[in-house]
C-alpha cells in the first residue's frame, strides 16, 4: 500500500535476504550456544528466543549493560529528591532487563518502580543497597554473556 510498485519488489527481496540470514544465524550458532551456555542472572535461552537472532540479542545485551552504566548515577542522584525521575529510570531498566530475560532484575526493578509510584521512600531506601549490588551482578552477567556469545 505505502510503497511504489517498483519499490515493493526491492522490499520483498530485502526481507527475504534478511530472513534467510537470520534463520541461518539463529539455527547454526544460537541453538548450540543455548544448550552450552548458562548464566546465573540472565536466561540467555529465553532471551534469544524472544529476540530471534544471535547478533541482535548480543546488541541488546550490550545496550542493557550500557544502560546500567548510564542509569546508576542518575538513580543515585535523583533518589529521594526527584522520585518521578527515579521511577522513570527503574522503569527503563525493567524494560531492557525483560528484553534480555534478566528476569529477577526486571522483577526487582518493577518492585522499586511500584514503591516509587506509591512514594514509599523508606521502603526504597531499605532496598537500594541490594539493588545497586544486583545492578553490578547483572551487568557483569550481561558482559560475560556478550563475551561468551560473540
pLDDT, tens only, 20-36:
444 333 333 444 444 46
SS3 82: coil
Sequence-separated (6 or more) residues with CB below 8 Å from residue 96? 60, 63, 64, 67
The predicted pLDDT at position 133 comes to: 96
Which residue, 85, 65, 66, 59, is CA-closest to 74?
85
The predicted pLDDT at position 67 comes to: 95
Sequence-separated (6 or more) residues with CB below 8 Å from residue 5? none
Q: Is the dihedral of CA 48, 54, 60, 65 positive or negative?
A: positive
Place of cell 551456555: 37
pTM as predicted: 0.74
Given a cut of 70, the residues of the chain with pLDDT beneath it are 1-36
CA distance 60 to 108: 20
Amino acid at each position: 500500500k505505502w510503497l511504489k510498485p517498483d519499490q515493493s519488489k526491492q522490499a520483498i527481496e530485502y526481507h527475504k535476504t534478511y530472513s534467510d540470514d537470520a534463520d541461518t544465524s539463529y539455527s547454526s550458532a544460537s541453538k548450540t550456544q543455548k544448550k552450552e551456555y548458562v548464566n546465573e542472572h540472565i536466561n540467555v535461552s529465553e532471551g534469544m528466543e524472544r529476540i530471534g537472532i544471535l547478533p541482535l540479542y548480543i546488541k541488546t545485551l550490550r545496550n542493557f549493560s550500557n544502560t546500567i552504566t548510564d542509569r546508576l548515577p542518575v538513580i543515585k542522584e535523583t533518589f529521594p529528591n526527584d522520585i518521578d525521575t527515579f521511577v522513570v529510570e527503574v522503569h527503563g531498566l525493567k524494560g531492557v532487563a525483560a528484553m534480555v530475560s534478566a528476569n529477577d532484575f526486571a522483577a526487582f526493578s518493577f518492585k522499586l518502580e511500584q514503591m516509587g509510584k506509591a512514594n514509599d521512600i523508606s521502603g526504597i531506601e531499605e532496598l537500594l543497597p541490594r539493588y545497586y549490588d544486583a545492578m553490578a551482578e547483572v551487568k557483569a552477567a550481561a558482559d560475560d554473556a556478550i563475551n561468551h556469545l560473540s
